[in-house]
Each structure stands twice: as C-alpha cells, then as structure tokens.
Structure 1
Amino acid sequence: MDKSDITLERLRSFVRVAERGSLSAVARELGVGQSTITRHLRELETALGVPLLNRTTRRVSMTDEGARYYANCLQILRLVEQAGDEARATRGAPAGTIRISCTAAIGVLHVTRLIFAFQDRHPDIGIDLSLTDERVDLVREGVDVALRLGPLTDSSMKLRNLGHSRRLLVAAPDYLAAHGRPAAPQDLSGHEGIRMTNVAGSDTLVLQGPDGARHTVPFGGRFRVDHGLAAREALAAGRGIGSAHRWLVDDLLSAGRLEVILPDYVPLSVPLNMLIVPQRTGIARVRLLVDFLAERIRAIPGIEQTR
C-alpha cells in the first residue's frame, strides 16, 4: 500500500459518498465533477487493496470492509478538524462552516436574524442554512445542528431542549365580522379552518381548557397547506381560523390584523429541540453556535422554557 495515496481529500470523499449513497450528490456538495469523486474512491481502494463500496446503477452502499473503514475515517477527520480548531484558538478566532437545518417558518422569521448576530460576533464562521419541514438524515445530509419543532424519534443525535412553542387560536377581524366569533370549542366545527397537511391529525383540534381538561373538536376547511408562512398569509387574509404558533403571528396580533379567539382554550404547545450530530459536538465553532442559539431562542415570542 502506498500511504501517500491515502489523503484527507480522498477520505472526505469516501465518507460523504458512504453517508449520502450518491456520487453525483457528493460532487455537487463539494463543488467538483463526479469524475473527481470517482477517481478519489478508485485511488483510495487501490491504495488499501480492498473494495470499500458496492456500486449499482441505482445506489452506492458500503462493503463490510468499507463500513469498518468508514468508522475509523470519522474519527480521523474529527481529530483533524479539532486540531485545526485548537490551532486557530491560539489567535482567538474560530473559523470554518457550520451546516444548520431548521424548520422553515421559524427559520425565516426568527432564526436567520439570530444567525446574523452570531456571525457579527464571529465573522470568520460561515453558515450554510437549510430550511425544511422534512425530517432529514443529519449525517447523510452533512448537517451539524438542526432545530426542530415537534416530537423526535432519532435517539442517535445529541438533544438539547430549548423549550415549548405556545400556540393560539387566531382569526382576522374581517373573518370574525363575517362569520361570527366562536363562544365555545364546539362552535369551531361550523367555521373555516386553515389546516396543515404536514401535521398529523389536522382534521381535529385538541384544546386545553381553563380547568386543564382537554377538548377534541372536529376541524375542517377548504384550504390546507404544507408551509407555515402560507398558513400565516391565509389567516391574515381572513380565510379562516387557525391554530398558530405565537412566534408565527405575534406581529400580526400586535398590528391588529389577527385576534385571539377562545383565549381560555389553547392548542397544546409543541416542543422545540436542537439536535447536534455527536461527532460534531467537539468542534469549537459548533459549540459556540449551540450555546448562542440556546441563549437567544428563549427571546422568540411564545417560546417558553420547559419546567
């Protein structure tokens, strides 16, 4: 084996192909041609003398040898990055790129401004922000940190609870003037509802009353959407009643464009969590961002600390 053929560049190409299962996707991610990634893999396998990947027309998967080598490569690349962080720390300027995935609406309305403030404090740190409501595979997509609303099932990530997002029932004054104001939860069944297609069970509302009891009521409507910002527009346009996160509509409530209805009956709050890829927790710039967001996010309207 010619050790000079085992370079960090080739290790990184192998690790990302192993995680993403696609040479073309990794080539786009790294900004190189697919032929370059193919060459990196071929040269690495030649140097090692064992096949690392199984390639078919549809997918790429690791061989048994590749899976063992992948685990070791992760350790090597993490140590290299940490060593670089420690060297840069001597001049007091963390640098590099952090990849963040964030639930779309809260990302647009609030998290982007927090990231701007973070970069003003740390000008040598780049941010690659992906806004999506899908539950992406963080390792596969090369994400360092994710902000997610709702229950989580991925126990392989390090989790940091940021609190709960309070929700309200809201509607525009024009809608209420035209259709009447509900006086009790059961009145909602006769109203137009703005519903989310990517939220399970959106055809019913579960409300918690003043005595702590829960009330489940049917919730219909002609407009359904899969993005919070579109739901916000529909509510402001007077298209119906909706359950909305406080941070989504706080400015509209302050401006009088929306009103809270049935204030004594509130939709259940939703957990807000930060997920960190375990292999990235030792990176100085990632730790800085995690601590910064955990401190600043509590100032977002409607985010309440978990008791």
Structure 2
Amino acid sequence: MMLSVLPQTFVTVVETGSITRAAEDMNLAKSAVSQNLKRLETQLDVKLAVRTTRRLSLTPAGKRYYQKCKELIALSRLAQTEMEAFGARPSGPITITAPHALIATVIAPAIALVRRQFPHLTPQVIADDKRLDLVAEGIDVSLTVGDLPDSSLKARRVGALRDVLCVAPELLDAAPSADDPAFMEWAQSLPYIAHVREPENLEHILQSQEGGNPIRLCFKTSFRSNTVEAIAALAREGLGVALLPDIGVVEDLRAKRLVPLFSKHTLEPTPVYALHAYEKLQPGSVRATIKAIETILASAVAWR
C-alpha cells in the first residue's frame, strides 16, 4: 500500500515545506522533484499547490489530496507493523501518545523498560492532551485517562489514577478549621483552575477515608489551561484550587508545594486505558509497550 513516487514526492514537499528540502530528504535533484509535482498535477488534472520562490501554498484540492495520501501512509505502516505478530522480534518504530502529565511519570519509564527487552525498537512519543486519531496520525498506542468514547479501537485497562483537589499551602493559612462547617463554604469560594475539557460549573464528590459521609463540592471556573503542568503551575502560585492527578504532581505533593484541600476525603480513582487500532494480529511491540505501561502504573509510588 506504499505510495508511488509521484504522490510520495508531493507528501514530502508538503511536510518539509519546500522543494529544496524535499529533494534533500529524497536524495533527488530539485529539478526532478519539481518535474514529479508537475507530472502529478497533469495526471490528476488539478492544481495541488501554488509555488513561489519563497513558499508553497496548497490549494483546497491539494489539502484534500495530502490528507488522503497521509492516511494511506498511516494504513500502510499499520499493515507492516501488524506483520510483527507472525513471529518477528519487535523492532523498528513505534509511536505512542499520552497526556503531558503522564510522559515523565509513565511513558518514559515504560519505554526504558521495553527498550531493555527490545533494544532495536525506536519509540516516538507525542505528548498531547487531546485524543488523537490513531490511524490518521500513524499512532500505535494511545494512553487515555477517563471514560472512553464509542469507537472501533481496542482498549485495555492498564491502571487508574487518583485525582487530588490541590491548593498552595499558603491559601490554607486564611481558611477556617477543617472541622468548622464554614470550611466547606470557604473551599467552594476559591477560584477554580480548570482544564479546557472541564465545564464552567462543575461538581466533585469526595469519599471519606474514615467511613463517613461523602462530601459534594461545587466550583465555578476562574482560569483554564490545556495541560496539567500549566494548571499545577497556576495552583502553586496560589491562584486557586485545581483537580490534578496525583502521579502527575507527586513531587509537588511530597515537597508540599501543593497540598490536598481535603486531607480525609478523596475522589474515586479514574481508569487509564491503552488504546490501539490493531485487530487480532496485535504486534509484539504494541503488546510489550502496553505491558510495560501497566507495570509502571502498578508500581507507581503514592505521594502519601
């Protein structure tokens, strides 16, 4: 399913941004790359790009054609990687995506574990809090936190995270005693630092660690960010309360740069899933990576 030379030339030009860089990547003369583009446009009978001395801009048809070619490349790679399941020792590229907060704490140590077993694997990591299209982006394994959307992807639960409502310790200096009924009202009056996926008005239910009644908290968003790291940074500055995964801010919690808003109540764990797009022929590299992620999550040291 590999692309022929003309579409491959077009994809390389688009992704490198110029005919000169594409020629270098493909080890071709610039004139050959330029002629390939002209021949492709002649074959398709459509203008794909407008080329000047300084830049290349895709036409609407060119953007559509590029996306389709990119999907074909991803499908071709998927088919090639599936062949590992017939007995080949895992090697070559494997692409993994995960939220920013789990790269250092889960993905990096998992990759180190896999590479010790299979040193010829060449992992590529994409840190993104959005849920990406695995097939279109050529992704082998996606680590996803929380409920799964309906899809044809294969999912395996590999662990769980426990979110913590965190604040900078100096915010608690002006708080009523935790045993005072006024503490609940005070806590809910704090500015809330939300992830972009959280709603403007939200509710958290915390379970008692001592067998008491759960507590229900309502917050109104004051700040937003798209990464856990940015949310944690805002919280460390004393700008409000934030819901953060303990594994993502474990060092802040240990060093008391952040502290739990409620020390005797916790939220229910949030499931973590490993997703992939392979059918029955799951490659060995994918199986080994998912197993390593599961191992790292199981052995993660709690901050308490």
What is the rounded CA distance, in whole Å, between the counterparts of 2:170 and 2:111 in structure 1?
Answer: 36
Provide the secondary structure at the position in 1 that maps to 2:230: helix
What is the rounded CA distance, in whole Å, between the counterparts of 2:121 and 2:35 in structure 1?
Answer: 30
1:105 pairs with 2:95: no
Q: Choose the corresponding residue for 1:124, options 111, 120, 123.
A: 120
- Tell me how far 1:237 sits from its aligned partner: 3.1
What is the rounded CA distance, in whole Å, between the counterparts of 1:54 and 1:145 in structure 2?
Answer: 36
Matches within 5 A, 1:1-307: 8=2, 10=4, 24-25=14-15, 32=25, 39=36, 57-59=59-61, 61=64, 74=75, 80-83=80-83, 88-89=88-89, 94-180=90-176, 183=179, 184-193=183-192, 195-210=193-208, 211=212, 213=214, 215-221=216-222, 223-278=223-278, 282-301=282-301
- Tell me how far 1:98 sits from its aligned partner: 0.2
What is the rounded CA distance, in whole Å, between the counterparts of 2:265 and 2:295 in structure 1?
Answer: 30
| Preserved CA contact (<8 Å) 1:281 1:287 | no
- Tell me how far 1:280 sits from its aligned partner: 9.1
What is the rounded CA distance, in whole Å, between the counterparts of 1:38 and 1:280 in structure 2?
Answer: 43
What is the rounded CA distance, in whole Å, between the counterparts of 1:38 and 1:272 in structure 2?
Answer: 49
Q: State the identity as a percent.
A: 18
Please report the RMSD computed on the Cα atoms of aligned residues, expressed in angstroms.
4.3
* Structure 1 residues 212 and 155: CA distance shift in structure 2, 3 A: farther
What is the rounded CA distance, in whole Å, between the counterparts of 2:251 and 2:92 in structure 1?
Answer: 35
Q: TM-score, normalised by structure 1?
A: 0.70
- Tell me how far 1:282 sits from its aligned partner: 2.7
C-alpha offsets along residues 256-296 of structure 1, whole Å, 9 cap, x if unaligned?
33322323443443221111122595322222212222222
Provide the secondary structure at the position in 2 that maps to 1:147: strand
Provide the secondary structure at the position in 1 that maps to 2:248: helix
What is the rounded CA distance, in whole Å, between the counterparts of 1:169 and 1:220 in structure 2?
Answer: 14
Provide the secondary structure at the position in 2 that maps to 1:196: strand
Matched AA of 1:272: V
* Structure 1 residues 226 and 88: CA distance shift in structure 2, 3 A: closer
What is the rounded CA distance, in whole Å, between the counterparts of 1:38 and 1:118 in structure 2?
Answer: 44
- Counterpart in the other structure of 1:4: none
- Tell me how far 1:61 sits from its aligned partner: 4.9
* Structure 1 residues 38 and 239: CA distance shift in structure 2, 3 A: farther
| Preserved CA contact (<8 Å) 1:182 1:261 | no
Please list every run of 5 or more consecutive structure 1 residues that lacks an aligned counterpart in the other structure.
1-6
What is the rounded CA distance, in whole Å, between the counterparts of 1:197 and 1:256 in structure 2?
Answer: 22
| Preserved CA contact (<8 Å) 1:147 1:273 | yes
What is the rounded CA distance, in whole Å, between the counterparts of 2:244 and 2:133 in structure 1?
Answer: 27
Provide the secondary structure at the position in 2 that maps to 1:164: strand
